[in-house]
Amino acid sequence: MREAQEIARLLQQLKSRSGLSYGVLAKRLHVSTSALHRYCTGDVMPVEFDPLERLARLCRATPEERTELYRLWVAAHTSRGNRQASAPAPAPKAPPAVAVTAPEPEAALETAPAPAPAPGACPVPEPEPEARPAAEGVVEIGTAAPARTPAVTAAAVLAVLGAVATGLRTHPGGAPTSAPAPAADAGATGAVDRGASAPITVTVRPSRRDDPECDKYVVDRPPSEVPRPPAVADAPAWATQTGAVPGHYLSIELIVQGTGSDTVVLTALNVRIAKIAAPLPWNAYSMGEGCGGGVGVHSYDLDLDAAHPRPVVFEGSTGLPLKVNERDPEVIEVNAQTTSHDVSWYLELEWSSGNRTGTLTIGPGVGTPFRTSALKGRPLYRYPPGGKAWEPSPFQE
């Protein structure tokens, strides 16, 4: 697979530049030397991106190199999913007795298609509308704007994103679904055109940050009824369980992929406000200490309190237009914030391919907007390292 070879080439360059041996790198990454060697030779590709990202950071990769590594990893999983989806279905058999077996926590995928993970791979450490958290997991969005573009079909979604959604582990509901025809209310995603399907799919996932402190949530529960902060990978499930809404700040990534070999140009990114209300009068909970995180190559800031909110290219980053196809996805980061309101909002991605144009409406789920609420004046709690309960934070908003 071409993407796996390119991943191996980039990892070997980073390792060589670091001057560290496989043994030293493996010890610092808490993986076996043999597993790390297989990553760097392209023999095995991890299901999760985390081990590759930690390796890149340990080797002092640039933001551009980390973003390229992530793009290649997404493309490699997508290619594998396409091959599996195109394989002929087996002849039907009599249903066997049901047996449920828990999957291995971090099984590695062979770069060649295989029905089971490669042996010897090591473990990798580590709203209802208007009520579910806006940062909830990976969901394929592809509903088109009225009378302009069609919805993405279920077949395209499963072929392109089936393997990727498994690796990202941020959508508790499983594989993405195709977009239904829209409801008449203003909160629904766009109407279905009667033409051919839109030539792109978009996967939404929380942005990869260096520090979880930028993750704050407002929850309509007292501290005694709020579970302790989760691991990063478990944050979406934690937010769903508690009915949490992202507070003040929401950072997401859009993984944009073409559905065919034709080049699709992403021409513009806009925002549509579905609802503005007073901030939620709930308690605020911080997921960490300190705040920080890298900026992607294609990164936008979004001020939800502006009179006419619009994504603005982050200084030092690049924005649209961008080109994608089925083998070359792009990752677009959006960092939204509000200090004054409870805002429900969608992103709208404009595209062009040949003589076709259209707009995709993007949210965390089909017919569900992103949601972000200000924290001003709300009691803020933290869970100190080694602590056993939530405590008032000394850094009140």
Mean pLDDT of 210-227: 82
User: Does residue 164 share a domain with residue 45?
Assistant: no
Please indicate, yes or no, if residue 253 is contained in any of the structural domains.
yes
Number of domains in the chain: 2
Residues sharing a CB contact under 8 Å with residue 326, sequence separation 6 or more, in sequence order: 78, 82, 160, 257, 258, 259, 260, 261
User: Does residue 329 share a domain with residue 222?
Assistant: yes
User: Does residue 160 share a domain with residue 14?
Assistant: no
CA distance 229 to 212: 10
Which residue range(s) make up the domain with 186? 139-392
Mean pLDDT of 350-379: 93
Q: Are 138 and 176 in contact (CB under 8 A)?
A: yes
User: Does residue 223 share a domain with residue 323?
Assistant: yes
Please indicate, yes or no, if residue 74 is contained in any of the structural domains.
no
User: Does residue 145 share a domain with residue 27?
Assistant: no
- Retrieve residue 272's tokens: 């549509």
Mean pLDDT of 92-110: 41
Is it the case that residue 8 has pLDDT exceeding 50? Answer: yes
Residues sharing a CB contact under 8 Å with residue 52, sequence separation 6 or more, in sequence order: 7, 11, 39, 46, 69, 70, 73
Q: What is the pLDDT of residue 84?
A: 57
Q: What is the DSSP letter of 200?
A: E
pLDDT band for position 141 (cuts 50, 70, 90)? very low
Domain boundary among 44, 61, 78: 61
User: Does residue 170 share a domain with residue 41?
Assistant: no
Is it the case that residue 291 has pLDDT exceeding 80? Answer: no
User: Does residue 154 share a domain with residue 25?
Assistant: no
Q: Are 113 and 178 in contact (CB under 8 A)?
A: no
31/319: higher pLDDT: 319
Identify the helix (H) or strand (E) that includes residue 166: helix 154-168
Q: Scanning the structure block, which residue is given the tokens 């911080």?
A: 286
User: Does residue 50 share a domain with residue 143?
Assistant: no
Best mean pLDDT range from 24-38, 52-66, 317-331: 317-331
Predicted confidence (pLDDT) per residue in 155-188, tens digit: 333 333 333 333 333 333 333 333 333 333 333 3
DSSP 20-79: --HHHHHHHHTS-HHHHHHHHHTSEEESSSHHHHHHHHHTT--HHHHHHHHHHHHHHHHH
CA distance 361 to 370: 11
- Retrieve residue 247's tokens: 């507070």
Please indicate, yes or no, if residue 125 is contained in any of the structural domains.
no
Is it the case that residue 211 has pLDDT exceeding 50? Answer: no
Is it the case that residue 143 has pLDDT exceeding 80? Answer: no
pLDDT band for position 215 (cuts 50, 70, 90)? confident
Amino acid occupying residue 188? A
Whether the bond between 321 and the residue before it is cis, its omega within 30 degrees of 0, is yes
Computed over every residue of the chain, the mean pLDDT equals 73
Please indicate, yes or no, if residue 75 is contained in any of the structural domains.
no
Please indicate, yes or no, if residue 34 is contained in any of the structural domains.
yes
Question: Quick one: CA dihedral 162, 352, 7, 25, positive or negative?
Answer: negative
Domain boundary among 45, 61, 77: 61
Domain boundary among 12, 46, 61: 61
The region of weakest confidence among 86-90, 279-283, 295-299 is 86-90
- Measured CA distances, 241 to 51, 131, 138, 364 (Å): 27, 11, 16, 16
Is it the case that residue 98 has pLDDT exceeding 60? Answer: no
Mean pLDDT of 48-69: 84
Is it the case that residue 352 has pLDDT exceeding 90? Answer: yes
Closest alpha carbon to 32 in 115, 104, 102, 106: 106
pLDDT band for position 83 (cuts 50, 70, 90)? low
- Measured CA distances, 16 to 57, 60, 119, 141, 351 (Å): 14, 11, 27, 39, 39
Mean pLDDT of 44-70: 83
Please indicate, yes or no, if residue 96 is contained in any of the structural domains.
no
How crowded is residue 387: how many other Cβ atoms within 10 Å of its Cβ?
10
pLDDT band for position 44 (cuts 50, 70, 90)? confident
Domain of residue 23, CATH code = 1.10.260
Q: What is the pLDDT of residue 386?
A: 82
- Measured CA distances, 373 to 194, 281, 376 (Å): 37, 10, 9
pLDDT band for position 68 (cuts 50, 70, 90)? confident
Pairing of strands 330-337, 299-303: parallel
CA distance 374 to 249: 8
Percent of the chain with pLDDT over 90: 32
Is it the case that residue 94 has pLDDT exceeding 60? Answer: no
Please indicate, yes or no, if residue 78 is contained in any of the structural domains.
no
Please indicate, yes or no, if residue 106 is contained in any of the structural domains.
no
279/43: higher pLDDT: 279
Q: What is the pLDDT of residue 1?
A: 67
Amino acid occupying residue 308? H
Percent of the chain with pLDDT over 70: 65
Mean pLDDT of 338-343: 95
Mean pLDDT of 133-153: 38
182/362: higher pLDDT: 362
Predicted confidence (pLDDT) per residue in 102-134, tens digit: 344 443 433 444 444 444 444 444 444 444 444
Q: What is the pLDDT of residue 81?
A: 61
User: Does residue 275 share a domain with residue 184?
Assistant: yes
Three-state DSSP state, 233: helix
CA distance 371 to 378: 17
Q: What is the pLDDT of residue 30?
A: 73
